[in-house]
Amino acid sequence: MRFVPGLQAAREYRREWLRDDLVAGIVLTALLVPQGMAYAGLAGLPPIAGVYATLVPLIAYAVFGPSRILIIAPDSAIAPLIAAAIIPLAAAGDERMGMAALLALMVGGLCLIGGIARLGFVTDLLSKPVRVGYLAGIAIVVLADQAAKVLGIEIEAEDFLSGLVELVTSLDETVTLTAAIGLGTFVALLAIKWRFPRAPGALLAVIAGIALVVVLDLQSVIPVVGEVPPGLPSFTVPPLDAGLIRDLAVPALAVAFVAFADTSVLSRSFASRRGERVDQDQELFALGASNLAVGFFQGYPVSSSSTRTPAAEAAGAKSQLTGIVAAVLLGIILLFATGLLAPLPEATLAAIVMIAVVGLIDIPDMRRLFRMNRADFALSMAALLGVAIVGVIPGIGVAIGLSVGALLWRAWHPYTAVLGRIDGRKGYHDRDRHPEGRQVPGLVLYRFDAPLFFANADAFRDGVLDAIAQAEAPVRRVVVAAEPITDVDTTAADMLIELLDQLDQRDIGLSFAELKGPVKDTVERYDLDTRLAAPPFPSTVGEAVHAYLAEFDVPWEDWEDAEEHEAGQGQAR
Contact 548, 443 (CB under 8 A): yes
- How much is the pLDDT for 565? 41
Q: Which of 250-254, 436-440, 517-521 has the lowest mean pLDDT?
A: 436-440
Residue 449's contacts (CB-CB under 8 Å, 6 or more residues apart) are: 414, 415, 416, 417, 484
Whole-angstrom distance, CA of residue 233 vs CA of residue 242: 25
Average pLDDT over residues 277-297: 93
Residue type, 541: V
Average pLDDT over residues 538-555: 89
48-65: b (≥16 Cβ within 10 Å) or e: bbbbbbbbbbbbbbbbbb
Give the dihedral sign, CA 293/296/297/299: positive
Average pLDDT over residues 539-546: 92
- How much is the pLDDT for 557? 55
- How much is the pLDDT for 497? 96
Whole-angstrom distance, CA of residue 430 vs CA of residue 438: 10
Which whole-number Å values give the CA distances from 394 to 292, 448, 486, 545, in the listed order?
Answer: 24, 36, 34, 54
Residue type, 88: P
pLDDT exceeds 60 at position 560: no
Strands (E), 14-153: 72-73
pLDDT exceeds 70 at position 358: yes
556 pLDDT band (50/70/90 cuts)? low
- How much is the pLDDT for 563? 37
Whole-angstrom distance, CA of residue 305 vs CA of residue 295: 18
Strand order of the β-sheet with 429-430 is 429-430, 416-420, 443-448, 477-481, 509-513
Which H or E element spans position 161? helix 160-169
Average pLDDT over residues 199-225: 91
pLDDT exceeds 60 at position 559: no
Whole-angstrom distance, CA of residue 382 vs CA of residue 376: 10
Average pLDDT over residues 360-364: 89
Please tell me whether residue 348 adopts helix, strand or coil conformation. Answer: helix
Q: What is the CB neighbour count within 10 angstroms for residue 372? A: 9
Whole-angstrom distance, CA of residue 241 vs CA of residue 459: 52
Q: What is the CB neighbour count within 10 angstroms for residue 206? A: 26
Using one digit for the tens of pLDDT, what is the confidence trace for 399-437? Answer: 888 888 888 888 888 999 999 988 778 888 999 999 888
573 pLDDT band (50/70/90 cuts)? very low
Average pLDDT over residues 173-186: 95
Nearest-10 crossing angle of helices 79-86, 392-412: 120
Helix intervals (H) in 392-454: 392-412
Mean pLDDT of the residues in the chain: 89
From the list 324, 321, 322, the residue with the least C-alpha distance to 312 is: 322
283 pLDDT band (50/70/90 cuts)? very high
From the list 555, 107, 201, 137, the residue with the least C-alpha distance to 357 is: 137
Using one digit for the tens of pLDDT, what is the confidence trace for 451-472? Answer: 999 999 999 999 999 999 999 8
Q: Which of 41-50, 196-205, 317-326, 540-549 has the lowest mean pLDDT?
A: 196-205
Q: Which of 32-46, 212-226, 257-271, 356-370 has the lowest mean pLDDT?
A: 257-271
Cα angle value 368/134/196 (rounded, 5°): 65
Whole-angstrom distance, CA of residue 153 vs CA of residue 220: 17
Whole-angstrom distance, CA of residue 331 vs CA of residue 402: 43
pLDDT exceeds 90 at position 481: yes
pLDDT exceeds 80 at position 125: no
Contact 305, 28 (CB under 8 A): no
Contact 353, 39 (CB under 8 A): yes
